[in-house]
Amino acid sequence: MADLAAIILAAGKGTRMKSELVKVMHPLAGAPMVAWPVESAREAGASRIVAVIGHQAETIREYFAGQADISFALQEEQLGTGHAVACAAGPLAGFTGMVLILCGDVPLIRSQTLRAMAQTHAASGAVLTVLTTHLENPCGYGRIMRGFDGRVIRIVEERDATPEERSLSEINAGIYCADASFLFEAVSRLGSDNAQGEYYLTDIVTQAAERGLRCSAHPVADPVEVMGVNDRVQLAEAARHARRRIAEALMLDGVTIVDPAATYIDRGVVAGRDTTVHPGVHLAGETRIGSGCIVESGAVIKGSTLGDGCVVEPGAVIRNSRLGNYVVVKAGTVMEDAVVHDHAAIGPMAHLRPGTELGPQVKIGNFVETKKITMGEGSKASHLTYLGDATIGKNVNVGCGTITCNYDGVRKHRTVIGDDVFVGSDVQFVAPVTIGRNSLIAAGTTVTRDVPPDSLAIARAPQVNKEGWKLKKREG
């Protein structure tokens, strides 16, 4: 909607969080709490968004940096919600459409609800529409007062309400849609004659009624949408609802999630059809998982891309990595900032450190560690090996216990191994060295010089047998 803007109230500190971090920046299922209402407003059609900020304003600015549709209004003193909206008048100067007012600590409001609310407001002829819901226990919320014709005539904050008013179950959700011309004129006339000495946004309802202007209510059936977050208990509850929504959306798109209540999937995660996610899995960040994958219990995948048909076994951790199709990541493997091409197999208990790139059909076995290496198609290092700062060609066999000795105490040096090289067990490459293609490095060799192609390299200390040594040792 080109004629729709949004104000996000995000200036409060949130003392009940008992945190050094401002409340609205606490993470909720993969994004700061305040990012949720911002995205809902955007999806509802708001073309301009103003965030009213105060405590840790720069932290919030930095998070939204580069998002062209968001501007900021600074509320230096937190003098109430009405004052906060008044602070947003500057960035919206000249705007004549409808304005949504959302709370940065009410993260679960759906864009569909906001869109329906704006449409209802536009059709009703009201100058102000209030989002309401009914609660069995409305303690802490402002109560909706209606006139004989059903219109909203007043909102009473609980601390200012009479016992009869407190008995009402319809509450103010703190979310509004208003005509811009009415809204900014009304907040400029607010007073602070109340128990808190604040400028209540709710008082503009009374202003509308006194001037004979229409104020409507838009009810929402699910109270979860309007639950506020004031402490860490409520934050955890909101995260539970958010993740349930995320899981439901994925399941409706063809993903099998064995136990949604025991699976932790953040906002922004994408998974293809016929992928199966088992309990205890954490999928975070901008993770993309292809079709037909299996992610087994306890796996953690953050900010990574997996192709079709991948298998991630229990306890694997994949961070900021890119995997091709039909890659198998076996149990207990850890990888970070790695690239793995099609049909590779990693682990179990392997460690791929940043800068690792493995070609198609590469095998990295148990207790192998890699760092800043490229490994060509069909090569393998099956077990108990460290490969760092190395370029390894195609069809190379790296034997058990091989080490690239890449650090001399001052600088890192590179090992280069050509195609079709066979490296025996317990070999040390003292970099910088280059091994020519089709060479064989004998078991137990310490390589300190380049090896030409088609060569056999052997560097072992001569074997000495001391006959009778054990007998003499016993006699001594």
Catalytic residues: 383
Is residue 118 within 8 A of residue 168, CB to CB? The reply is: no
Residue 181, H or E segment: helix 180-187
Is residue 348 within 8 A of residue 364, CB to CB? The reply is: no
**Taking the chain, what is the end-to-end CA distance rounded to the nearest angstrom?**
96
Instruction: Look up residue 436 and give its two tokens.
Output: 């020519």
Cα 274 versus chain centre, distance: 23
Q: At what angle do helices 35-44 and 111-124 cross, to 10 degrees?
A: 50
Residue 239 neighbours by CB distance under 10 Å: 21
d(CA 151, CA 376): 72
Cis peptide before 432 (omega within 30 of 0): yes
Instruction: Look up residue 410 and give its two tokens.
Output: 């001052």
Residue ranges with strand state E in 135-199: 143-146, 152-156, 170-179
Residue ranges with strand state E in 272-356: 276-277, 282-284, 288-289, 294-295, 300-302, 305-306, 311-312, 317-319, 322-323, 328-329, 334-336, 339-340, 345-346, 351-352
Q: At what angle do helices 180-187 and 203-210 cross, to 10 degrees?
A: 110
d(CA 431, CA 429): 6
Strand partners, 217: 130
User: Radius of gyration of the chain from Cα atoms?
Assistant: 32
463 secondary structure, DSSP code: P
SS3 (DSSP) at 125: coil
Is residue 397 within 8 A of residue 380, CB to CB? The reply is: yes
Is residue 293 within 8 A of residue 283, CB to CB? The reply is: no
Residue 31, H or E segment: strand 31-32
